[in-house]
Amino acid sequence: MANRVRNERLEIKLSEEEMQMFKEKMKLSKSRTMAHFIRKCVLEKEIYYVGLEPFRDIQWSLSNVTNNINQIAKHVNQTGVIYKKDMEAIRKDVDKISKEVWDIHSLLLKRIQKIQEY
């Protein structure tokens, strides 16, 4: 026992539902033992952190655009007049949001391709 490479012990407690899910995933992985499955999960899987700040920025920008559109619609309904500068401001805001979404999309695609290369 003293010459064992794996001499650290791990113990966890699971609910019945969690244990059922654990067993199903273990079966899907075709792992021979519970220890093999856990080692496989820990040693072979990458862990990624996804920062949500860009999504919050997009949400804030969308909120501003929708507020502007509502204000313009109210003005148009009252006066029957729409100003070119208002439309240009909305177009600018929509273009900014589109660019942010495209940047995030491109970043995610690059990460997926990087993962698939492994």
Q: Which of the two residues, 35 and 51, has the higher pLDDT score?
A: 35
pTM: 0.50
Q: Exposure pattern of 68-97 as b/e (b: 16+ CB <10 Å)? A: eeeebeeeeeeeeeeeeeeeeebeebeeeb
CA-to-CA distance for 104 and 57, rounded, in angstroms? 12
**pLDDT class of 100 with cuts at 50, 70, 90:** confident
pLDDT (0 to 100) of residue 3 = 67
Tokens 């204000």 map to which residue? 71
Q: Report DSSP state, residue 3.
A: T
Question: What residue spans define the domains of the chain?
Answer: 13-45, 53-117
Q: What percent of the chain has pLDDT over 90?
A: 16
**Side-chain-side CA neighbours of residue 93 (13 Å):** 19
**pLDDT class of 118 with cuts at 50, 70, 90:** low
**pLDDT tens, residue by residue, 59-74:** 888 898 899 889 888 9
